Amino acid sequence: MSSYAVVNPATGETVATYPEITDEQLREAIGRADAAHRAWATTGVEERAEVLGRLVELYARDRQKLAEIIVREMGKPIEQALGEVDFAAAIYGYYARDAAKLMADEPIALEDGEGSALIRRGSLGVLLGIMPWNYPYYQVARFAGPNLAAGNTILLKHAPQCPESAAVMEELFHEAGVPQDAYINIYATNDQIAETIADPRVQAVSLTGSERAGAAVAEIAGRNLKKVVLELGGSDPFILLSTDDLDAAVEAAVGARLENSGQACNAAKRFIVADELYEPFTEKFTAALGSVAPGDPTSAETTVGPLSSAAAAERLEEQVQRAVDGGAKLVAGGGREGTFFETTILTGITPENPAYAEEFFGPVAQIHRVASEEEAIALANDTPFGLGSYVYTTDAEQALRVADGIDAGMVFVNVVGAEGAELPFGGVKRSGFGRELGRFGMDEFVNKKLIRIAG
């Protein structure tokens, strides 16, 4: 039986199943993508950018349909699903506008002044993208947008619970003008993916997912001398040191925790609060978070929908229970009804508690009290992860000091939800390596070829 199926997490209904690719079909797909690269890479960056521009129009045309698909697949509230479609389109639009500039030759000033030298960017070939379920369109856009613009061809392996959105994206890429074999959706098994990474025709791989999946993919890629970009988990700190508007800070904190029903790698998960603000923040944050009840993801009024699957909800429930068994205080929530999980707050989590080093993938927040800026930075860094972070303070110099001190790939100061197509996304430590989006994302899978010309 195929593992690729649309199972509506709100109802438990299996909506549709999709057959896995056969070994022979997979080998053919790799060969087709390899052959297509030769032509796609020579079409010219301007022509490839025009294709991405047409994709923006198609996403706008099918906006409602695309959003409804991922509501069915992984339970994203409809307004957030519409927002994700828009963000994915914005990413394609960014590379449609800026691809030629990002791929332009880069002159190098020579020490001896004799002759000239430049870096000319070119495609690598066939890339494998392994995508997660939590942002079905956005994650693909981060990978496919810059790499198609660069002239690479793509094999796209989506999460098993996102086969419908995966199929629709392939259709839209082709309708926009991407050649049939330059973007191929594959419903592959883990064993088949291991073989695909090892195939000499595949030049590199990008994965967004769990630490376990990242380690497995990186091991295979390393054995086969393939470049890999990994965007893994996060337990992002939200550091509140001072504020002249506590209500606004609380509102930002709630938004930072509940995006995508709390199922975002770069969501704020650990709230680190200065001693003098701890009590009022905890009171207001508990009231605000507790006022958000999980609901029907098809309703425009819903902020938190179901978790992505019954297994995800059960894992989160077990995590919360382990945290409490380890000495944490359950301030609010903790209940589960099927895949719907209450907004939950934990305090008193010590380094000895298993929860201290874990990522909670759902609407569960931890609150910590600190006595100083230095203690806040130390606590923020005392995690295996290093993806994003948030710093709230009225002191501009303190903001930069704290930003410099945090071990993370991204720091947002006095703002949440400020990601953009032009801003690089990625982490350090066990949150992975490499960058997506912006010019740094464009540079991950290109050959930066040196051309040195005599005087």
* CATH number for position 304: 3.40.309.10
Rounded mean pLDDT of the chain?
Answer: 97
When pLDDT is averaged across residues 96-103 and rounded to a whole number, the result is 98
Q: Are residues 98 and 221 in the same domain?
A: yes
Q: Are residues 294 and 226 in the same domain?
A: no
In the predicted structure, residue 187 carries a pLDDT above the cut 80 = yes
In the predicted structure, residue 406 carries a pLDDT above the cut 80 = yes
The per-residue pLDDT for 348 is 97
Q: What is the CATH number of the domain that holds 214?
A: 3.40.605.10
Q: Are residues 254 and 176 in the same domain?
A: no
In the predicted structure, residue 181 carries a pLDDT above the cut 90 = yes
The per-residue pLDDT for 287 is 98
With vertex at residue 129, the alpha carbon angle to CA 60 and CA 99, rounded to the nearest 5 degrees, is: 55
Q: Are residues 111 and 38 in the same domain?
A: yes
Q: Are residues 195 and 264 in the same domain?
A: no
Helix (H) or strand (E) holding 58: helix 45-61
In a domain, 374, yes or no: yes
| Domain limit, last residue, from 169, 204, 231 | 231
Q: Are residues 202 and 266 in the same domain?
A: no
**265 catalytically annotated:** yes
Pick 391 or 1 by higher pLDDT: 391
| Domain limit, last residue, from 231, 259, 282 | 231
In the predicted structure, residue 400 carries a pLDDT above the cut 70 = yes
In a domain, 452, yes or no: no
The per-residue pLDDT for 113 is 79
Total domains in the fold of the chain:
2
In the predicted structure, residue 61 carries a pLDDT above the cut 90 = yes
In a domain, 441, yes or no: no
Q: Are residues 178 and 276 in the same domain?
A: no
Question: Which among 73, 164, 231, 342 is annotated as catalytic?
Answer: 231
In a domain, 252, yes or no: yes
Q: Are residues 123 and 218 in the same domain?
A: yes
Which residues span the domain enclosing 258?
236-420
Q: Are residues 211 and 245 in the same domain?
A: no
Closest CA relative to residue 257, chosen from 297, 279, 286, 299: 286
Lowest pLDDT segment from 102-116, 360-374, 391-405: 102-116
**283 catalytically annotated:** no
The per-residue pLDDT for 64 is 98
In a domain, 432, yes or no: no
In a domain, 183, yes or no: yes
In a domain, 434, yes or no: no
**How does pLDDT run across 117-172, given as a tens digit for each residue?**
999 999 999 999 999 999 999 999 999 999 999 999 999 999 999 999 999 999 99
Question: Which among 84, 164, 265, 317 is annotated as catalytic?
Answer: 265
When pLDDT is averaged across residues 398-411 and rounded to a whole number, the result is 98
**How does pLDDT run across 257-309, given as a tens digit for each residue?**
999 999 999 999 999 999 999 999 999 999 999 999 999 999 999 999 999 99
The per-residue pLDDT for 233 is 94
Q: Are residues 280 and 221 in the same domain?
A: no
The per-residue pLDDT for 81 is 98
Spatial separation of the C-alpha atoms in residues 168 and 231, rounded to whole Å: 24
| Domain limit, last residue, from 231, 260, 280 | 231
In a domain, 450, yes or no: no
Q: Are residues 196 and 253 in the same domain?
A: no
In the predicted structure, residue 85 carries a pLDDT above the cut 80 = yes
In the predicted structure, residue 1 carries a pLDDT above the cut 90 = no
Indicate the pairing of strand 329-332 with strand 344-347. antiparallel
Q: Are residues 338 and 225 in the same domain?
A: no
The per-residue pLDDT for 455 is 83
Sheet bearing 106-107, strands edge to edge: 106-107, 116-123, 446-453
Instruction: Please enumerate in sequence order all residues whose Cβ is within 8 A of that of 163, keeping only pairs 6 or more positions apart, or say none.
Output: 4, 5, 6, 16, 18, 187
- 113-116 long-range contacts, CB within 8 A, separation 24+: 114/454, 114/455, 115/452, 115/453, 115/454, 115/455, 116/452, 116/453, 116/455
